[in-house]
């Protein structure tokens, strides 16, 4: 067995979910309370509002080994800081273009909106995004840095 094959067999996606402390994190909490299953590959990072999300956060996460990143915030029109989620969506769309320019699949970053009562939707997003990243395979950054 080659070393590369051994690495591929052992690979599991690492996903960072930047969740706003209001709706998205509450939905994650509800998913946990309801004992809904979602992949353990998703690591939640709590942020005050998705308006706090910055492209540097996503790029740093990818640099540190994340294969995919998503941002989860309140429903449009329901951000507790008025338009944080609108600004976050613009940043995510901007980053999709930049990732494409450097040879990354833009599908490795996504924005989701959900309400605090959508625990099942939170679990569904985590499962679907994990499946997406699993199909894409390891981040191109891992091939360059070999980690
Ligand atoms: Fe949830 Fe702004 S407080 S997205």
What CATH number does residue 74 fall under?
Answer: 3.40.50.960
Contact by Cβ (8 Å): 75, 117: no
Give the position of tokens 């029109």: 77
Beta bridge partners of 42: 15
From the list 63, 56, 57, the residue with the least C-alpha distance to 17 is 57
Looking at the domain assignment, is residue 147 inside a domain?
no
Q: What is the pLDDT along the chain (147 residues), one digit of tens a residue?
A: 455 555 556 899 999 999 999 999 999 999 999 999 999 999 999 999 999 999 999 999 999 999 999 999 999 999 999 999 999 999 999 999 999 999 999 999 999 999 999 999 999 999 999 999 999 999 998 876 555
Give the position of tokens 């509450």: 26
| Total tally of structural domains belonging to the chain | 1
Looking at the domain assignment, is residue 144 inside a domain?
no
**51 touches ligand 1 (CB under 6 Å):** yes
Instruction: Kindly report the pTM of this predicted structure.
Output: 0.91
**49 touches ligand 1 (CB under 6 Å):** yes
Measured in Å, residue 8 CA sits from the centre of ligand 1 at: 37
80 CA closest ligand 1 atom index: 3
Looking at the domain assignment, is residue 36 inside a domain?
yes
| 70 φ, ψ (degrees, to nearest 5) | -135, 155
| 71 φ, ψ (degrees, to nearest 5) | -115, 130
From the list 80, 82, 90, the residue with the least C-alpha distance to 115 is 80
Looking at the domain assignment, is residue 31 inside a domain?
yes
Measured in Å, residue 77 CA sits from the centre of ligand 1 at: 10
Domain range spanning residue 119? 10-135
Looking at the domain assignment, is residue 140 inside a domain?
no
**80 touches ligand 1 (CB under 6 Å):** yes
**58 touches ligand 1 (CB under 6 Å):** no
Looking at the domain assignment, is residue 38 inside a domain?
yes
Looking at the domain assignment, is residue 3 inside a domain?
no
113 CA closest ligand 1 atom index: 4
Looking at the domain assignment, is residue 146 inside a domain?
no
Q: What is the pLDDT of residue 146?
A: 55
What is the sign of the dihedral through the CA atoms of 77, 79, 83 and 86? negative
Q: Token pair of 57, please?
A: 């956060």
The SS3 call for residue 113 is: strand
Give the position of tokens 């840095």: 145
């Amino acid at each position: 067995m080659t070393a590369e094959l051994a690495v591929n067999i052992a690979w599991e996606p690492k996903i960072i979910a930047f969740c706003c402390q209001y709706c998205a994190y509450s939905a994650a909490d509800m998913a946990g309370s309801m004992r809904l299953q979602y992949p353990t590959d998703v690591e939640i990072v709590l942020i005050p509002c998705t308006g706090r999300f910055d492209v540097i956060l996503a790029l740093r996460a990818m640099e540190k080994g994340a294969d995919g990143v998503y941002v989860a915030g309140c429903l449009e029109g329901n951000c507790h800081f008025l338009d944080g989620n609108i600004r976050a969506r613009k940043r995510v769309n901007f980053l999709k273009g930049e990732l494409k320019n450097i040879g990354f699949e833009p599908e490795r970053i996504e924005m989701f909106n959900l309400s605090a009562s959508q625990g099942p939707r939170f679990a569904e997003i985590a499962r679907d995004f994990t499946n997406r990243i699993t199909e894409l395979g390891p981040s191109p950054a891992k091939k360059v840095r070999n980690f």
